[in-house]
Structure 1
Amino acid sequence: MSYLDDPRVLFAAERTLLAWNRTSLAMIAFGFVVERAGLLIAVMQGHQAPHTTSSTFILGLAFILLGAVCALISSYQYGVVLKQLSEAEIPKGYKARWGVLANLVVAVLSLALAVSLFNVAS
């Protein structure tokens, strides 16, 4: 990737990964709010059990799943960047994979949230 032998390259890649992590979390949170707003609307209209085919339910789950996909893809991209860095670009003793772990945990938990919401709505 670069031949600068400068650890700032690693830290720039890590900042980008964590920016994607925040984006993923925002999408997941927005999807949850949309899904819950649909439930609130259904209750206010007097429906006893909201259907899983409502547009807000599907849209909310889509945002949650999109957040999970963003977390997974950004983790993969960061891994590609890490493989291209030289030893001089990674400070000794620095564990560059913690950001990937955070993104993977976000992805797994968002998938669990989507499954949980789907099971509750069924």
Structure 2
Amino acid sequence: MSESSDPRVYLAAERTLLAWLRSGIAVIGLGFLVAKFGMFLRMIRGTVEGGHPIASTIIGIAFIMLGTAMIALAAWQHQHFVKEFQGSFPPTQHWPKLSLWVSILVALSGAALAVYLGVSVVSE
């Protein structure tokens, strides 16, 4: 079996995309945690006044944007690989764009979360 018709090549590319998706979700979750950690520290200290913890929110938004970029770039790279792949795989019952659309939706959700956190800083 030649490398171009080996289904393991395509499946490995899909697993790689899903691993990047998982890593991007983890980075987005870390960003949300960091963004809200300043508020948690204020609650622990008992200081309600003093404004919004801007530093933790900015760092958290940076992590969220990094995770979003990771997912978007992985989806882009996977799409280009699928276009160049000349094998006879995937089978007809397989929807090869599913992982791509999940990646796009998660990336858009991460961007929306970053915008939400940014707007919450400005409004307070």
Q: Runs of 4 or more off by more than 3 Å in structure 1?
A: none
- In structure 1, the gaps of 5 or more residues are none
Could you say what the CA RMSD is over the residues aligned between the two structures, in angstroms?
1.7
Rounded to whole Å, the distance in 2 between the matches of 1:63 and 1:119 is 16
Rounded to whole Å, the distance in 1 between the matches of 2:19 and 2:37 is 27
Aligned length: 119
Of all paired residues, the percent bearing the same amino acid is 32
What's the counterpart of residue 86 of structure 1?
A: 86
Q: 2:52 aligns with which of 42, 45, 50?
A: 50
State the TM-score, normalized to the length of structure 1.
0.88
Rounded to whole Å, the distance in 1 between the matches of 2:107 and 2:98 is 14
What's the counterpart of residue 99 of structure 1?
A: 99
What's the counterpart of residue 120 of structure 2?
A: 120
- In structure 2, the gaps of 5 or more residues are none
Deviation per CA, 1:6-45, whole angstroms, max 9, x where unpaired? 1111110000000000000000000001111111223436
Rounded to whole Å, the distance in 2 between the matches of 1:4 and 1:17 is 19
1:31 aligns with 2:31: yes
CA contact 1:7–1:91 (8 Å) conserved in 2: no
Rounded to whole Å, the distance in 2 between the matches of 1:73 and 1:4 is 24
CA contact 1:64–1:114 (8 Å) conserved in 2: yes
CA displacement at 1:46 relative to structure 2? 1.5
Rounded to whole Å, the distance in 2 between the matches of 1:91 and 1:6 is 12
